[in-house]
Amino acid sequence: MVLALDLGGTKVEAALVGPDGEIVGGIHRALTGQAASRAELIAAIDDVVRRSGAAGTVEVIGIGSAGPVDLGAGTVSPKNLPQLAGFPVREHLEALVPGARATLRLDGTCIALAEHWLGATRGRSNSMSMVVSTGVGGGIILHDSLIAGATGNAGHVGQIQIASRVAGDARDASTLEAIASGPATVAWARRQGWPGATGEDLAADYAQGNRIAVAAVRRSATAVGEAIASVATLLDLEVVAVGGGFVNVADHYLDLVRAAISDSVVFDYARVDVVPSALNGRGPLLGAAALVHRSWLLDATAFPPPRTLGTRHPVTPMGKQEQQ
Domain of 204, CATH number, reads: 3.30.420.40
| 83/126 same-domain check | no
User: Residue 101's domain spans which residues?
Assistant: 2-106
Find how far residue 32's CA is from the centre of its chain.
Answer: 17
Same domain, 141 and 272: yes
Q: How far apart are CA 14 and CA 286, in angstroms?
A: 10
Q: From CA 30, how far away is CA 7, in angstroms rounded?
A: 10
Same domain, 100 and 125: no
Find the DSSP H helices in 17-126. 38-52, 89-96, 107-118
* Single residue among 44, 76, 106 that ends a domain in this structure: 106
Residue 161 to residue 149: CA distance in whole angstroms = 18
> Do residues 158 and 269 both lie within one domain?
yes
49 and 98 inside one domain? yes
Rounded Cα distance between 245 and 254, Å, is 13
Intra-chain end-to-end CA distance of the chain, in Å: 44
310 in a structural domain: no
For residue 78, whether the previous peptide bond is cis, meaning omega lies within 30 degrees of 0, is: no
239 touches 273 (CB < 8 A) = yes
Amino acid 29: pLDDT: 96
pLDDT of the chain along its 324 residues, tens only? 999 999 988 899 999 999 999 999 999 999 988 899 999 999 999 999 999 999 989 999 999 999 999 998 999 999 889 999 999 999 999 999 999 999 999 999 999 999 999 999 999 999 999 999 989 999 999 999 999 888 889 999 999 988 655 555 544 468 999 999 999 999 999 999 999 999 999 999 999 999 999 999 999 999 999 999 999 999 999 999 999 999 999 999 999 999 999 999 999 999 999 999 999 889 999 999 999 999 888 854 333 344 444 444 333 333 333 333
- Number of structural domains the chain divides into: 2
Q: How far is CA 118 from CA 49, 87, 190, in A?
A: 24, 30, 38
Whether 76 and 126 map to the same domain: the answer is no
Residue 60 lies in a domain: yes
Distances, alpha carbon 115 to alpha carbons 39, 83, 89, 232, 253, in Å: 33, 30, 24, 17, 20
Residues 135 and 98 in one domain: no
Please check whether residues 194 and 90 belong to one and the same domain: no
Inside any domain, residue 78: yes
